[in-house]
């Protein structure tokens, strides 16, 4: 039975769903040996370092990932960097197909004056900071101010604003990084603005996230009812289903806002950021609005306006994505997930996306090349394989148990390696 070897670069949702799609396509004509390669010592990508820790249900998809990994023809090679340590060209020589699944983790910038000031940062740095990503432990998040501004009207902006506006003890039973919980507990921030440059009818939030907001037990959530009434008029008699659902959810918030709590999350619409003020650090944001310029004084600004992919040598990039046609890049190189289509869609979107790319790949496959695999290319021995990852995983879960947390993540690469390779 022909055995095709496929290397997948990037062990996030897109990578795992590509592996699953390959596994689902096995029959008497073809089988697949899958090597999943990851730069970090740990897999799971944004399920580990992107999903908000107060949304543990979203992380249960990791059970699916571990089922995919249990297949005897699946191997994990974590702590291995493609692009520097091993080239994409080398992988392409060895494997019948190579799939790039590296996501997009660089935050887009606004391109306005003051964006480089201390206290102005991207969600692309803030989110992995509170999620224990080893590369982001040292991100400076000044929380010594009373007001923070989050720019953007998508679900990432919502996660960020919620994390800033939550009563921090609500994070105790979560896997939020200890350094972040400590910082949030010491935080002076009490007012969090979340600003959209367009009206509520154009917001990129999804309604389940909006519907959760009134359930926050210690935070006032404030939406101006006039903003929603005007948006309902603009949206017309037959708005799209998602728009209607969003507007309904926002109207509900606007009609039942609380004011008794010390912490407040406030939505601003039709506020286009123009300038970030400050000399040595952020002091405010100037917006242009339909009523003229408005300044919000604040000491922290977090932009959550989308992501772009980081380049890997040997892979063509354009406009923050890998250059591809329906997932085909060139020869035996393919791309899936955010690196393919840009930063949109929820985790599950990657499933159908990967399945479609795998179908194309299969139509390209001829006979297996049997040219070896990554084990002949490795330049060091400190590889975290599936059994080493399982040791890390079990150790983190065990460390969380006495604290009532799902896990305590290690924030240092060497600690992770020690756990896995002991």
Site string for ligand NAP, 254-273 (x = CB under 6 A): -------------------x
CB of 108 to ligand NAP, least distance (A): 7
Residue among 189, 186, 197 nearest 157 (CA): 197
Nearest CB to ligand NAP, comparing residues 197 and 340: 197
Number of residues that this document lists for the chain: 422
Site string for ligand NAP, 85-114 (x = CB under 6 A): -------------------------x----
CB of 343 to ligand NAP, least distance (A): 5
CB of 22 to ligand NAP, least distance (A): 25
Site string for ligand NAP, 191-210 (x = CB under 6 A): -----xxx---x-x-x--x-
Instruction: State which of residues 23, 25, 62, 155 lies at the interface with ligand NAP (CB under 6 A).
Output: 155
CA distance 309 to 320: 5
Residues 107-146 binding ligand NAP (CB under 6 A) are: 110
CA distance 307 to 300: 20
Nearest CB to ligand NAP, comparing residues 157 and 177: 157
Stretch that binds ligand NAP, among 26-34, 338-346, 382-390, 410-418 (CB under 6 A): 338-346
Whether the CB-CB separation of 420 and 391 falls below 8 Å is answered with yes
The reply on whether position 156 binds ligand NAP by CB under 6 A is yes
Dig out the tokens for 89 from the structure: 């060209």
Nearest CB to ligand NAP, comparing residues 290 and 404: 290
CA distance 109 to 307: 9
CA distance 171 to 270: 32
Beta strands in 203-271 (DSSP E): 219-222, 263-268
Q: Which residue has the tokens 């944001």?
A: 285
The reply on whether position 154 binds ligand NAP by CB under 6 A is yes
Whether the CB-CB separation of 196 and 240 falls below 8 Å is answered with no
CA distance 291 to 224: 15
Instruction: State which of residues 24, 344, 352, 375 lies at the interface with ligand NAP (CB under 6 A).
Output: 344
Stretch that binds ligand NAP, among 227-235, 305-313, 378-386, 399-407 (CB under 6 A): 305-313
Nearest CB to ligand NAP, comparing residues 7 and 231: 231
Stretch that binds ligand NAP, among 15-23, 64-72, 255-263, 304-312 (CB under 6 A): 304-312
Q: What is the DSSP string of 120-147?
A: EEEHHHHHHHHTT-GGGTT------SSE
Instruction: State which of residues 8, 9, 68, 153 lies at the interface with ligand NAP (CB under 6 A).
Output: 153
Stretch that binds ligand NAP, among 149-157, 222-230, 319-327, 354-362 (CB under 6 A): 149-157
H helix runs in 53-138, sequence order: 62-69, 88-94, 123-130
CA distance 232 to 237: 8
The reply on whether position 384 binds ligand NAP by CB under 6 A is no
H helix runs in 312-365, sequence order: 338-341, 349-364
Torsion over CA: 69, 75, 77, 83 (sign): negative
Which residues here bind ligand NAP, judged by CB under 6 A? 110, 151-157, 159, 196-198, 202, 204, 206, 209, 273, 304-307, 343-346
């Amino acid at each position: 039975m022909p055995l095709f070897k496929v290397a997948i670069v990037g062990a996030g949702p897109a990578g795992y769903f590509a592996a699953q799609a390959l596994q689902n396509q096995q029959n008497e004509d073809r089988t697949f040996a899958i090597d999943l390669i990851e730069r970090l010592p740990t897999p799971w990508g944004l399920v580990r370092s992107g999903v908000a820790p107060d949304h543990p249900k979203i992380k249960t998809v990791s059970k699916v990932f571990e089922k995919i990994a249990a297949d005897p023809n699946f191997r994990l090679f974590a702590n291995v960097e493609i692009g520097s340590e091993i080239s994409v060209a080398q992988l392409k020589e060895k494997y019948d197909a190579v799939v790039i699944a590296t996501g997009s983790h660089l935050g887009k910038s606004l391109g306005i004056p003051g964006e480089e000031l201390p206290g102005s940062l991207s969600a692309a740095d803030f989110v992995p900071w509170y999620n224990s990503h080893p590369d982001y432990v040292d991100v400076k998040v000044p929380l010594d101010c009373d007001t923070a501004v989050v720019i953007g009207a998508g679900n990432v902006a919502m996660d960020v604003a919620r994390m800033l506006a939550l009563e921090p003890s609500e994070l105790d039973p979560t896997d939020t990084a200890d350094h972040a919980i400590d910082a949030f507990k010491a935080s002076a921030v009490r007012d969090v603005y979340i600003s959209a440059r367009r009206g509520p009818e154009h917001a990129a939030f999804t309604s389940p996230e909006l519907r959760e907001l009134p359930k926050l037990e210690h935070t006032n959530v404030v939406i101006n009812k006039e903003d929603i009434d005007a948006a309902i008029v603009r949206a017309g008699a037959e708005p799209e289903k998602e728009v209607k659902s969003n507007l309904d959810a926002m109207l509900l918030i606007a009609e039942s806002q609380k004011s008794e709590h010390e912490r407040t999350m406030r939505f601003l619409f039709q506020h286009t950021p123009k300038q970030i003020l400050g000399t040595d650090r952020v002091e405010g944001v100037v917006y242009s609005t339909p009523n003229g310029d408005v300044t919000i004084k604040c000491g922290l600004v977090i932009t959550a306006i989308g992501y772009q992919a980081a380049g890997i040598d040997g892979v063509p990039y354009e406009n923050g994505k890998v250059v591809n046609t329906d997932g085909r890049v060139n020869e035996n190189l393919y791309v899936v997930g955010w690196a393919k289509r840009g930063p949109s869609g929820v985790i599950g979107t990657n499933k159908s996306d990967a399945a479609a790319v795998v179908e194309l790949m299969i139509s390209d496959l001829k006979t297996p090349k049997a040219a070896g695999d990554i084990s002949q290319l490795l330049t060091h021995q400190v590889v975290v394989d599936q059994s080493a990852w399982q040791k890390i995983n079990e150790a983190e879960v065990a460390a969380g148990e006495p604290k009532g947390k799902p896990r305590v993540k290690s924030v240092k690469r060497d600690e992770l390696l020690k756990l896995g390779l002991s």
